[in-house]
Amino acid sequence: MKLTTRLLIADDWEAYALLDSGAGRKLERFGTQTVSRPDPQAFWTPATPPDSWQADAVFDAKAQDDDRGAWRLVRGDAPEVWPLHWEELRFQARRTPFRHLGVFQEHSVHWRFAQEQIRAAGRPVKVLNLFGYTGLMSLACAAAGAEVVHLDASPKSNGYGKENQALSELDDRAIRWITDDAMKFVAREIRRGNTYDGIVLDPPKFGRGPKNETWRFEESLPALLDGVRALLSPEPLFVIATAYAVRLSYLALAQTLADRMTGFGGQIETGEMALPQQGSDRLLPTALYARWQQS
């Protein structure tokens, strides 16, 4: 199976921009708001000192934890929830206690890829989106014509996803929003004999299911990929996997996925995902990825 490496740069946004980065932080524009957040990969020197950045809201992390902390409003009337868009999708940004904003904007590279695969198939396509968060991949696939099963362990995230579906005027598209543990759901789907033409998985480093099931990336991923392999239709289109904040090479992720795709042919592409910094050649790395496609 052919394996190629590639850097995927999410440079297809109008509503988002990385304005500056460095000294362990990043300054970003999300639609009408500008925010400053920690980013441990931004080792370099920023274009301007972070204490001079003009942000509407600043996330102050707790010691030794870049994800947990609290937002500090600089512009007091900055709303907690506000609209964003990407291509035809409409959705909400929102400040959360874990520094996230309801969208992982670097994933637009995978939204577009999935849409291209679905539209080129020329047949009905079923997609399973595991660890789907607020549903933007699910909406992208549905907008391209796929029937989608969206799964996340958080009822709140799924609720936001349904709101985003309405905002995108995709209520007439087939999306099932399921709150469940990914491993248990995949096992049940295998027993039911269900299959999918495309599968997306964006697992966290560590997480818990709705009944306190434990997910640890390095321990749980191989078994989940075994399940993904069993759920693929006879003529699958794609599998997309991403990894954040783990001690792992993208080659390790790709070769683990390639093991499961033996017999399907096709090709694996792997590498890093990154965001371009406005007015600069600098790129901010965000995640590792591996994706298989048939054609």
| DSSP tag of 234 | S
CA distance 137 to 112: 9
CA distance 155 to 146: 23
258-272 pLDDT, tens digit each: 999 999 999 999 999
pLDDT (mean) for 261-289: 97
CA distance 128 to 292: 15
- Paired with 35 in beta bridges are 28, 57
Largest CA distance in the chain: 57
Distances from the Cα of 138 to the Cα of 29, 127, 200, 206, 277, angstroms: 24, 8, 9, 22, 27
What is the bridge-based pairing of β-strands 267-276 and 2-5?
A: parallel
Tokens found for residue 38: 């920690």
Under DSSP, is residue 245 helix (H, G, I), strand (E, B) or coil? coil
Q: Residue 66: what pLDDT?
A: 59
- Paired with 91 in beta bridges are 84
211 — pLDDT class (breaks 50, 70, 90): confident
Helix/strand/coil (H, E, C) string of 149-194? EEEECCHHHHHHHHHHHHHCCCCCCCEEEEECCHHHHHHHHHHHCC
Tokens found for residue 166: 């309405």
215-248 pLDDT, tens digit each: 788 888 999 999 999 999 999 999 999 999 778 8
Number of Cβ within a 10 Å radius of residue 223: 12
Distances from the Cα of 30 to the Cα of 36, 95, 232, angstroms: 11, 11, 36
CA distance 294 to 292: 7
With a pLDDT cut of 70, the percent of the chain lying above it is 98
60-69 pLDDT, tens digit each: 988 666 567 8
What domains are defined for the chain? 2-8+103-293 (3.40.50.150), 13-94 (2.60.40.1180)
Sorted by sequence, the CB contacts under 8 Å of residue 141 that are 6+ apart come out as: 114, 115, 118, 125, 127, 129, 148, 198
Q: Residue 163: what pLDDT?
A: 98
Q: What are phi and psi of 100, to 5 degrees?
A: -80, 165
